[in-house]
A and B are shown apart, each in its own frame.
Chain A
Amino acid sequence: MTEKEIFEILKEKFGDSIIEFVEAQAGENYIKVSPLEIDKVCAFLFTDDRLLFDSLINFSGVDDANGEKKVNEDGSFDFIGGTLSVVYHIESLKHLHKLTLAVSVEKDKPDVVSVTDIWAHANWHEREAFDLLGINFLNHPDLRRILMPYDWEGGFPLRKDYKDPEFYRGMKVPY
């Protein structure tokens, strides 16, 4: 089944929760979904006989870097507002079709519903996106830091406006 056909099925079933079908200039197209409905959409994709997306192949958090850029005196910069995105690559091992879904959330309130109940694979990837980008996954069973130290308070390193903290546990960080 092609991406376009799947989009039509989803649009019919979920209406406004399916925001748009984005055709990329380069690379791949994707379907944009509402962040608070993504679990229902994924559950449908997982169970429906025509779709049967039984495998999540990749899961990425992205900082869109689209807020208002404010340059500070020391040359560093901050983004005011803007969005974070989560991109899901899913595949059906039975029907052999692939699909890309994306959600985007405001940086001020980065809440996305977890899909760990559907694909256990998402568990560690969601922890990673939480750890490095600060995306909050609702209903996640175990949302802890994963790659950074558990007591890290220096912010989210993969955000575009991340700045190293001055000290970590009494050690000077910038060198």
Chain B
Amino acid sequence: MVLKTEEMTLNMGPQHPSTHGVLRLELQLDGEFIVDVIPHIGYLHRCFEKHAEFMTYPQVVPYTDRMDYLASMYNEFGYAVAVEKLLGIEVPERVEFIRVIMGELQRIASHLVALGTYGADIGAVTPFLFCFRDREKILSLFEMASGARLLYNYIWVGGVSRDLPPDFLRLAKEFVDYFRPKIKELNDLLSFNKIFIERTANIGILPLDVAVNYGITGPMLRASGMKWDLRKDDPYSVYNKFDFDIPVGDGRMGTVGDSWDRYYVRIIEMEESLKIVEQALNQIPEGDVLSAIPKRIKPPVGQVYGRVENPRGELGYFIVSDGTVNPKRIKVRPPSFVNLAVIGELCKGHMIADVISVLGSIDIVLGEIDR
């Protein structure tokens, strides 16, 4: 007797705890094996780009916070870099140092969420709590500087909204000393845990040529073995003044570009970010942070593409100016949007439980994908 077989469609989401937001994955299944994954996005679409056309340039900054809400500082940073490039203005060195300190602390905070929730998705709940405990300390530093815990409106075009409070440098240094041993703790708890490795190594392998063709950037591209980081390869701000390394995936637990590599690249990146923060805290010059903020931003007719290395990859702003105080068009190149597009390639041939593992290793933020 011949058994009847057919492909089955299964919807994962939109309300699923491990889709990290409102995302629907349409799984085409052959038994429990994945034939294809079709993501359906747009549930959080709130027309950032259309809103921005009715705002003046400085008014857009709070909106950028709300795209990638786990890395708000870096969204503002990217927007400021793009508009300053269009205007052709220089900002004081102290401002650049403050931006780098905030940006790298934000990278650590964002990676902590990524790594913690990744462990929680796979079943390790303790590291998740440890990660949030440490992230809380970074949020307190941000609250001290900007007054807000998640959506800061701190980095403005031409400067930052206010100077660092007097105690900030001391507390930030204390955080660096506090956090360095915690990375080892996370390694002991999660990274080299046998169960975790079994669930992530050799799962969702992303070959380098596929990654480049799909425009993948950030930790995902580096995990596939390419040493590419805009902080080194297209330096902006004052990143060329610091000594740090770009980690790449080496397939230590399985194959280059698997989920474990994508996870571990983020761990090393946190160490490198700590190095940058430490150097910046020691070298930060005195100065006025408000002096370069333009009174009225009215760029000439033209267009510019400014990009920075966000915790998730290349965050780009394409701004078209028609010579008025409102931007004619702001197009965001969100790293999560681009990185999510490859999920079909990553999941083919794996099982349903591995979709969770692959999705967690991509580290998406739906607020940014849907804008």
Q: Which residues of A contact B (CB under 8 A)?
A: 24-28, 30, 54-63, 65, 87, 89, 93, 96, 100, 119-121, 123-124, 132, 145-149, 157-158, 162
8 Å CB contacts to A: which residues of B229-258? 233
Contact A124 B305 (CB under 8 A): no
8 Å CB contacts to A: which residues of B274-307? 299-305, 307
Shortest CB distance A85–B (Å): 9
Q: Pick from A27, A62, A96: contact of B329, CB below 8 A.
A: A62
Besides A24-B302, A27-B86, 5 other A-B contacts (C-beta < 8 A): A26-B299, A58-B305, A63-B329, A120-B215, A157-B47
Q: Which residues of B contact A149 (CB under 8 A)?
A: 42
Q: Which residues of B contact A96 (CB under 8 A)?
A: 233
Q: How many residues of B contact A (CB 8 A)?
A: 43
8 Å CB contacts to A: which residues of B192-231? 210, 212-215, 226, 228
Q: Pick from B86, B210, B341, B370: contact of A26, CB below 8 A.
A: B86
Contact A65 B328 (CB under 8 A): yes
Contact B212 A26 (CB under 8 A): no
8 Å CB contacts to A: which residues of B304-343? 304-305, 307, 314, 316, 318-322, 328-329, 331, 333, 337-338, 341-342
Contact B302 A27 (CB under 8 A): yes
Contact A57 B316 (CB under 8 A): yes
Give A27 to B342 CA distance when docked, in angstroms.
31
Give A37 to B333 CA distance when docked, in angstroms.
25
Q: Which residues of B contact A65 (CB under 8 A)?
A: 322, 328
Contact B338 A124 (CB under 8 A): yes
Q: Which residues of A contact B301 (CB under 8 A)?
A: 24-26
Contact B316 A28 (CB under 8 A): no
Contact A148 B338 (CB under 8 A): no
Q: Which residues of B contact A59 (CB under 8 A)?
A: 333
Contact B318 A119 (CB under 8 A): no
8 Å CB contacts to A: which residues of B29-69? 41-42, 45, 47, 49-50
Q: Pick from A60, A93, A121: contact of B318, CB below 8 A.
A: A60
Q: Pick from B210, B303, B314, B333: contact of A27, CB below 8 A.
A: B303
Q: Which residues of B contact A62 (CB under 8 A)?
A: 320, 328-329, 331
Contact A124 B331 (CB under 8 A): no
Q: Pick from B305, B319, B341: contact of A121, CB below 8 A.
A: B341
Q: Which residues of B contact A63 (CB under 8 A)?
A: 329
Contact A158 B42 (CB under 8 A): no
Shortest CB distance B362–A (Å): 14
Residue of A nearest to B314 (CB): A57
Residue of B nearest to A54 (CB): B212
Known contacts A25-B300, A60-B318, A55 near B371 by CB under 8 Å: no
Q: Which residues of B contact A120 (CB under 8 A)?
A: 210, 213-215, 341-342
Contact A93 B228 (CB under 8 A): yes
A-B contact list, 21 entries, CB within 8 Å: A24-B301, A24-B302, A24-B303, A25-B300, A26-B88, A27-B86, A27-B321, A56-B215, A57-B307, A58-B305, A58-B331, A60-B329, A60-B331, A89-B305, A100-B305, A119-B213, A121-B213, A148-B42, A148-B45, A158-B49, A158-B50
